[in-house]
Amino acid sequence: MIDFDLAAFQQQISSQNAALPPVDKWNPDFCGDIDIQIKHDGTWFYMGTPIGRKALVKLFASVLKREDDDYFLVTPAEKVGIQVEDSPFIITQWQKESGKLALTTNTGFDLVVSSENPIHIFIDKKTGAYLPYALVRKNLWGRLHQNVFYQLAELGEEQEIDGKCHLMLNSGDYRFTLGEL
């Protein structure tokens, strides 16, 4: 965990969101699939080879769109399908200040956990385990990296919900579970 200025972080998030292309407004014709895959560990591959240029991965991530369970890279003129093993993002860092939890993805995207960016428990498509995922942006989720999960678990408190014991955390007024104990 790193100390940080929450107001500056929220301003950074606003700037980051304003810089994102409006992919939700783009609905071009489907052009077919392209051989890009996001592996379970968050590594992006093109034609079986890891994409080593972080700037290129960030660019692709900025034009990523999900429709139902399918993922696409979109521009105003083209839409191509890609494969995602589990989730397109991995939450690799966290910070907490003034009771709010800030997360950062493997592509450098920042968010503050809230009702707008909630954490939910989903089934990991590769392992079948129930794990926490954060909503990164519209319909795109990021799985908490194991290290982040364990660090946050240290902050959690046990609470019974519907007869089951959960590990609970707060981020501002938003309360969420990291899973059943």
CATH, residue 153 = 2.30.270.10
Identify whether residues 35 and 70 lie together within a single domain.
Answer: yes
Q: Which amino acid is at 125?
A: K
Q: Is residue 55 assigned to a domain?
A: yes
| CA 6 vs CA 3, 11, 100, 147: distances in Å | 9, 9, 8, 22
Q: Is residue 1 assigned to a domain?
A: no
Residue 33 lies in domain: 6-84
The mean-pLDDT minimum among 8-17, 55-64, 109-118, 162-171 falls in 8-17
Domain count, the chain: 2
Number of C-alpha atoms within 13 angstroms, CB side, residue 56?
9
The pair of three-digit structure tokens given for residue 149, joined into one six-digit string: 């999960």
Q: Which of 32, 56, 84 is the last residue of a domain?
A: 84
Q: What pLDDT, on the 0 to 100 scale, is given for residue 4?
A: 64
Identify whether residues 60 and 117 lie together within a single domain.
Answer: no
Mean of pLDDT values over 46-62:
97
Q: Which of 84, 99, 128 is the last residue of a domain?
A: 84
pLDDT over threshold 80, residue 1: no
- pLDDT tens-digit profile of 124-156? 999 999 999 999 999 999 999 999 999 999 999
- Per DSSP (E only), the strands in 41-156 are 44-46, 49-50, 64-67, 70-74, 79-84, 89-97, 100-105, 110-112, 119-123, 130-137, 140-144
Report field, pTM of the whole predicted structure over 0.85: yes
Identify whether residues 79 and 104 lie together within a single domain.
Answer: no
Identify whether residues 97 and 175 lie together within a single domain.
Answer: yes
List the CATH number of the domain containing 66: 3.10.540.10
Identify whether residues 48 and 121 lie together within a single domain.
Answer: no
| CA 92 vs CA 39, 78, 105, 134: distances in Å | 15, 31, 5, 12
- Give the pLDDT band of residue 85 (cuts 50, 70, 90): very high
Helix H or strand E encompassing 6: helix 6-19
Identify whether residues 120 and 51 lie together within a single domain.
Answer: no
The pair of three-digit structure tokens given for residue 173, joined into one six-digit string: 């007024």
Q: What pLDDT, on the 0 to 100 scale, is given for residue 3?
A: 55
